[in-house]
Structure 1
Amino acid sequence: MPATPSEATAGRRVRHKHARPGQLIEAALALFVEKGYAATRVEEIAQRAGVSKGTLFVYFQSKEDLFQAVVRENIAGRFVEWNEEFHAFQGSSADMLRYCMRSWWERIGATPASGITKLMLCEAQNFPEALAYYQQQVIAPGKDLIRRILERGIARGEFQVPDLDCAVYAVIAPMIFLLLNKHSLAACLPESESIDPLRYVDAQAEVLLSGLRAPEGPARQRS
């Protein structure tokens, strides 16, 4: 039996209600990247999402709570799938590092969520609670994943890493540059010097691997 008009309307309302948290997170992400964390007001987020300020507070207690949801949904949640892929990966550690850097760009760097890193670099010191959450949910698991890739390479005799702590940052640094270029530095460069992100990622991976690879033959035995 077809739904009555009132039933159909009720169904649309339920679906719309369930969509609201996602709409609010999407609107918050866009405004945080456009205006910065401090300059973004909850009223603007609600307006961008097409709901009232009161509706926003039904789902999120504060702007900080909404920021955490943005980080969780757009960045932190990725580490579950990346860790699953780490355990299932069958290739070399060099291929794993290449895959890690490329997939980071495709899943975060090429998306609106890439602006969160620039936001944290610019405003983190003024918002210690937001910084602590970002460190816990993004920085720490990101460093841990990269470290495990490097440790895998060392254990398999594929990498030679004199200082593991610094090597982790050697992988992170070119990614940070690419984000800053996307959101700031590119505006300062002539169009002829624009950077192709995937070409850049691939080139940086090869530069890193040239320094990480363990020597072969007699040189490897001496080391």
Structure 2
Amino acid sequence: MIPPSAHPSPTTAKRERRKEARPGELLEAALELFVEKGFAATRVDEVAARAGVSKGTLFLYFPSKEELFKAVVRENIAGRFAEWALEVDTFEGSTSELLRYCYKVWWERIGRTKASGITKLMLSEAHHFPEITQFYQHEVIRPGQMLIRCILQRGVDRGEFRALDMDYAIYLVLAPMLFLMLWKHSMGACVPDALGLEPEKYIAMQADNILQGLVVRPPSPSSPPG
């Protein structure tokens, strides 16, 4: 028989659960504040207060604001590229269907979430913070570009897309994403009903436009002799 003292009390169990939850709560609070206020204006004591812990507790997990920001980026974006790459590798439909699918799930998983505000933050403050800029380029921008390149190269290799200058074609795919993130956290945030923009319809239209330019078309019949 296990002595009563060996069983954790409800208070102890609650404290342990709280301790285990702290990193996630801190990352969630940090994401909210970074998106609301920007990197420079966010203070670590504000993050700790919003998460319901002391500043000292925050520093047990994240030794600086820079490391806290990096953890936020990894949790919400950078840490998911392996999962996304596997989805691309195992997709069974056409590359046109794959591109439409990627736009759709990007909006669902990133675009319409708070994580989309990280891009706006980087565009606004990158030149002031070279360390986090270099980190973001390495952990988000380059993997993102490589993933798009793989999708486009898949289409070319399968004879679905015409030959492309991949260094620039990736920006065709990125442009609608960047627009939506800026709209959501800039003009759309200030005047949310001014344009009546529905992101899902916008993405579908942009996918149509991009694919019209990418897909290989059958040769047109030669003109009859005059």
Percentage of pairs with the same residue: 58
Task: Report the equivalent of 2:87.
Answer: 85
Task: Report the equivalent of 2:138.
Answer: 136
Larger-gyration structure (1/2): 2
CA shift, 1:192, in A, is 5.3
Task: Report the equivalent of 2:158.
Answer: 156
Offset from partner CA, 1:151-208 (integer Å, 9 cap, x none): 0000000001432211101100111001111111225657252211111111111100
Q: 1:186, 1:194 within 8 Å by CA — same for their partners in 2?
A: no
Q: Which moved more, 1:47-56 or 1:180-189?
A: 180-189
Offset from partner CA, 1:92-149 (integer Å, 9 cap, x none): 0101111111111110001110100000000011001111111111100100000000
For residues 51 and 83 of structure 1, the distance between their equivalents in structure 2, rounded to whole angstroms, comes to: 36
For residues 3 and 124 of structure 1, the distance between their equivalents in structure 2, rounded to whole angstroms, comes to: 56
Task: Report the equivalent of 1:99.
Answer: 101
Structure 1 stretches (4+) deviating beyond 4 angstroms? 1-6, 187-190
TM-score between the two structures when normalised by the length of structure 1: 0.93
Matched, 1:126 2:149: no
For residues 133 and 213 of structure 2, the distance between their equivalents in structure 1, rounded to whole angstroms, comes to: 32
Q: 1:76, 1:137 within 8 Å by CA — same for their partners in 2?
A: yes
For residues 101 and 3 of structure 2, the distance between their equivalents in structure 1, rounded to whole angstroms, comes to: 50
Task: Report the equivalent of 1:111.
Answer: 113
How many residues are treated as equivalent by the alignment? 219
TM-score between the two structures when normalised by the length of structure 2: 0.92
Q: Kindly tell me: are residues 179 and 12 of structure 1, through their superposed partners in 2, closer, same or farther at Cα, counting changes over 3 Å?
A: same
SS at match of 2:9: helix
For residues 42 and 141 of structure 2, the distance between their equivalents in structure 1, rounded to whole angstroms, comes to: 24
Provide the aligned C-alpha RMSD in A. Answer: 1.8
Provide structure 1 residue ranges, at least 5 long, that are not aligned to the other structure: none
